[in-house]
Structure 1
Amino acid sequence: MAKVLCVLYDDPVDGYPKTYARDDLPALDGYPGGQTLPTPKGVDFTPGHLLGSVSGELGLRRFLEERGHTLVVTSDKDTEDSEFDRELADADVVISQPFWPAYLTAERIARAPKLKLAITAGIGSDHVDLDAAIEHGVTVAEVTYCNSISVAEHVVMMILSQVRNYLPSYQVVLDGGWNIADCVSRSYDVEGMHVGTVAAGRIGLAVLRRLKPFDVHLHYTDRHRLPREVEEELNLTWHAGTQDMVPHCDVVTVNAPLHPETEGLFDDKLISTMKRGAYLINTARAKIADRDSIVRALESGQLAGYAGDVWYPQPAPADHPWRTMPHHGMTPHISGSSLSAQARYAAGTREILENWLDGESIREEYLIVQGGGLAGTGAHSYSTRT
């Protein structure tokens, strides 16, 4: 029998919800491009309920315990002698979300001799040391596409909120004020701006499609160039690299995975080549941007705004400088954890577990590492140091 160790974020401060704002979720037929939604043999949860917190348990307890397996759920992952570290020693499977990642470092993987499967309930497996997973024969899988559209919607929201100066204007209302001049002194129209995405995979392409109706000029860079018909449909300008693209853009959105080629990409040098007053949106991974370079660029005015929901580490400490830097629109890591997305990534996590426990093949698009190397989506999106 398997021991499954699941790391989830804490419940709401007022306790697990007894009611919800909506009674149902829209029915989706599939993902753009034809990939099917998760297809587990069954689910033990109500779509639209809070599944990603500790009490939600991703809806897995009944399924696992009826089969005789053990499920341990915790949010304690970073403290000294954390419950995660204590339980990891004999775990067969680790499940973690990008929003509250259990960092599976090389050291932790070495201390987990039984570990055979690491599942990301969501998208983005950079919290797993992929080189160490390859070395120790650990399969890494994630629920590809489950929350790509959720993140793309969040990106568009953040672009608009930054360019239109929404958050400070909302604060004026909360404070009982009405000074229109203060609100509009940093407010512009998105129309006519040049907007570029670093990476045009599932999320980046979804962002481009959603921005086209705003009558902006769209740019992208990606190691895999899009088909000509897509470029023509969206009137895209392709650039060979990020360094080539950013000087042309008023807004840059980062939608790339974190790997050795992207870590620290937005540093002082690159940001200095951007238009003065450009906006940078990062819902990908915090370490793609140098922490202190972002602060300096906002303080100097080189960047007009920075918004995102990814931090390092996660959760971010109370004194993290991105909490107090000027002209930011940061949120906790929530873009891909809407209640809508949770229903999909919980179902996908169960599908992966069903396949693995029954000795069946895991979907190719869900695979990041398998058989001692990058596999599936991992081979397309990631690189390793080995």
Structure 2
Amino acid sequence: MKIVMSLYPAPEGGAPDELLGCAENALGLRGWLESEGHEVVSTAARELDDLRGHLEDAQVLVTTPFWPVYVDQGVFEAAPGLELVLTAGVGSDHVDLRAAADWGILVAEQTGSNVVSVAEHAVMQLLALTRNYLPAYQQVVDGRWDIGEIAQRSWDLERKCVGIYGAGAIGQLIASRLAPFDVETLYYKRHRLDHASEQVIGARYARLDEMQARCDAIIITAPLTPETENLFDREVLAGMRRGAFLVNIARGGIVDRDALLEALESGQIGGYAGDVWYPEPAPSDHPWRQMPHHMLTPHYSGTTIDAQVRYAADTRQCLQAWLAGRPIEEDHVIVQDGEIVGGAYRAAFGA
């Protein structure tokens, strides 16, 4: 069995052993797989032409979300024997799910492996926006000391209204993490939580129009589907409270690129944070890099050392089951037997 791993490159100077998710360390699975007689190719190549030679006789492709390769029709054509695509992480929208279904390929991801990591990142970025943290830090680096300049865009989080759009596992954990700040939290998800669950996370159900009218900040945690693509467009951004913050730790394509830039320049949106872009990796001239009042990071929120341990272990479990001819656990599966079956993807694609 040939298993190709498409992973991010090791940092310059080499990778420490705990950096499991890089191509050099191959999720820590190379030794086990090769001892079982399987061929393992781990690469950070981004272009299909550079991958083609590896893919042509591969049965399994393991990849991290959006980096380094998009798994589209071209990849499937280059890998006629491909049977399984595993996302080492959460979110399989970098895979053409309809094409995977048409090719009869099983697609699975590591459900829950980075929930804590991404939720903590979202709270950190909301606090950074609210307290105007990065400009304050930059003053220190630049040798300046202008408290008034920083304080004029700095607030407390207490008693603010925060919306969470797409409150799955990550969104619900964000709500729980925000509760000690004494905020009012609204949430939206396709299927409303029961009353007891709402009490546990301290949030009340609301649709997007209510969030626009009432929220001082909205955190996007929804998957990227045809339903959510460019959802936060000019109309939605214009309908938000003037000066409200937007945090996106879901997918860059949920927010209209140019509309966001305009909303920040006009002051309609007070600040934007997140670590997701489109495309990824973001080119050096991506307009979001230079827009005002942003606190963006590269897409690393779900790639902490702790998260890598979890998604590497889950990837191993999926491979162990599949290689032994057993079903992969149902909550990991996105595409199976020619159908899109995974949660939000199934509903959004009308499967």
Q: TM-score range by the shorter chain?
A: over 0.9
Cα distance, 1:246 vs structure 2: 2.2
Correspondence for 1:104 among 52, 71, 79: 71
2:248 pairs with 1:279: no
Cα distance, 1:205 vs structure 2: 0.2
Find the counterpart in structure 2 of residue 94 from structure 1. 61
2:337 pairs with 1:371: yes
**Partner of 2:295: helix, strand, or coil?**
coil
Which is further off, 114-123 or 69-78?
Answer: 69-78
Which is further off, 106-115 or 319-328?
Answer: 106-115
Distance (whole Å) between structure 2 residues aligned to residue 250 and residue 381 of structure 1: 29
Find the counterpart in structure 2 of residue 62 from structure 1. 31
Check whether the contact 2:45–2:68 (CA below 8 A) recurs between aligned residues: no
* Residue identity in the other structure for 1:52: G
* Residue identity in the other structure for 1:266: F
Cα distance, 1:257 vs structure 2: 0.6
Correspondence for 2:114 among 140, 144, 147: 147
Per-residue displacement from partner, 1:23-74 (whole Å, max 9, x unpaired)?
Answer: xxxxxxxxxxxxxxxxxxxxxxx7xx11111212101111111111111111
Per-residue displacement from partner, 1:144-174 (whole Å, max 9, x unpaired)?
Answer: 0000111000000000000100000001111
**Partner of 2:294: helix, strand, or coil?**
coil
Q: 1:126 to 1:227 in 2, by over 3 A?
A: same
Find the counterpart in structure 2 of residue 33 from structure 1. none
Find the counterpart in structure 1 of residue 15 from structure 2. 16
Distance (whole Å) between structure 2 residues aligned to residue 253 and residue 208 of structure 1: 10
Structure number with higher helix proportion: 2
Check whether the contact 1:7–1:75 (CA below 8 A) recurs between aligned residues: yes
Give the ranges of 4+ consecutive aligned residues of structure 1 lying more than 6 Å apart after TM superposition. none
Distance (whole Å) between structure 1 residues aligned to residue 14 and residue 213 of structure 2: 47
> What is the total number of aligned residue pairs between the two structures?
350
Distance (whole Å) between structure 2 residues aligned to residue 54 and residue 233 of structure 1: 40
Distance (whole Å) between structure 1 residues aligned to residue 344 and residue 231 of structure 2: 20
2:314 pairs with 1:348: yes
* Residue identity in the other structure for 1:131: R
Cα distance, 1:380 vs structure 2: 4.4
The aligned runs of 1:287-302 (5 Å cut-off) are 287-302=253-268
Per-residue displacement from partner, 1:310-329 (whole Å, max 9, x unpaired)?
Answer: 11111111101111111111
Check whether the contact 1:99–1:337 (CA below 8 A) recurs between aligned residues: no
Unpaired runs of 5+ in structure 2? none
Find the counterpart in structure 2 of residue 170 from structure 1. 137
* Residue identity in the other structure for 2:188: T
2:203 pairs with 1:236: yes
Flag the structure with more relative contact order, 1 or 2, with Cα contacts below 8 A and sequence separation at least 6: 1
Q: 1:114 to 1:300 in 2, by over 3 A?
A: same
Find the counterpart in structure 1 of residue 166 from structure 2. 199
Aligned-residue sequence identity (percent) comes to 48
2:194 pairs with 1:227: yes
Q: 1:99 to 1:175 in 2, by over 3 A?
A: farther
Per-residue displacement from partner, 1:94-127 (whole Å, max 9, x unpaired)?
Answer: 1111161421112322332111100000000000
The aligned runs of 1:48-59 (5 Å cut-off) are 49-59=18-28
Distance (whole Å) between structure 2 residues aligned to residue 200 and residue 314 of structure 1: 24
Distance (whole Å) between structure 2 residues aligned to residue 161 and residue 188 of structure 1: 10
What is the alpha-carbon root mean square deviation over aligned residues? 1.5
The aligned runs of 1:233-272 (5 Å cut-off) are 233-239=200-206, 241-272=207-238
Cα distance, 1:235 vs structure 2: 4.1
**Partner of 1:174: helix, strand, or coil?**
helix
